[in-house]
Structure 1
């Protein structure tokens, strides 16, 4: 009885790790560099959010988790842009893959901000803005997380190019 429940889980893990092993060097650079840049950004934007009852260590852990999520979003955006621009779109001047790359991140950022600020304040996945956070007057969206999704993806592309990752 127990084997029936474990077998699908083992198959899922095998498929997941099989896919991660198929990632190219550029994919890994996007994920790692993007997550590290996002972590620095998350740390510097901490004063713009209400800390709630979290200790500084707990806030730093949350920033780390958020930056890993940002890295996955960057990796997804890179892969989606690759569907339109080919596997070497990062080294070409075509505009559409770049629009997809930046646009996907902005759409996800706006959606996450809207969802997270509408959840109850004591939820693990929610946050509140401090008085320091600049907000768009009509919708109330925070401008710093939106700016993040123009700056962090651009810096990630520059770092990947600087690492001289050849088109895969």
Structure 2
């Protein structure tokens, strides 16, 4: 069986993961001051923490993508962009983010928000990670949609 780079590049999941990584990676660095202790880390340690968080973001994006795919029974929903799969994708990502932020800040204390992080009621989710999952996935969908050929 021969490896075909064109087939790989045209997979919706490949594009979604690639562009999600690129855009979320940038966002992770922008929001460093809003997390306690992040700005004081050694450079390499900060890069590693942001990279790990970005891989988590890519995982959330893929789960949200597959939820949207199940809702319309097609992995190619991103090319025709209808309201239902877009809403499922977007809301799934936001719901997972809110849940994980709650778990990691309130239950396991894996990270803490700095005084610069505005909180969104009722769960006290940080505004920055919430806005990340409001804006970045829509940008990713726009770019992936232009990238994939039917």
Q: What range describes the TM-score normalised by the shorter chain of this pair?
A: 0.7 to 0.9
Summarize the alignment of residues 5-154 of structure 1 with structure 2, pairs less than 5 Å apart.
25-51=11-37, 54-85=41-72, 86-119=74-107, 121=109, 126-154=110-138
| CA distance 1:90–1:155, change in 2 (3 Å) | same
Task: Show CA shifts across 1:132-156 (max 9, x none).
Answer: 1111254322111011111111111
- Report the more deviating stretch, 42-51 or 74-83: 74-83
Task: Show CA shifts across 1:93-142 (max 9, x none).
Answer: 42111111001101110111001112455xxxx11111111112543221
Q: From the CA coordinates, give the structure whose radius of gyration is larger.
A: 1
TM-score by length of 1: 0.76
Work out whether residues 12 and 78 of structure 2, in 8 Å CA contact, stay in contact via their aligned partners in 1: no
Work out whether residues 51 and 59 of structure 1, in 8 Å CA contact, stay in contact via their aligned partners in 2: no
Cα offset, 1:23, TM superposition: 9.6
Aligned to 1:159: 143
Cα offset, 1:88, TM superposition: 2.3
Q: How many residues align?
A: 142
- Report the more deviating stretch, 30-39 or 77-86: 77-86
Aligned to 1:3: none
| CA distance 1:119–1:30, change in 2 (3 Å) | same
Quick one: distance in 2 between partners of 1:91 and 1:22? Answer: 16
Cα offset, 1:34, TM superposition: 0.4
Cα offset, 1:22, TM superposition: 8.7
TM-score by length of 2: 0.84
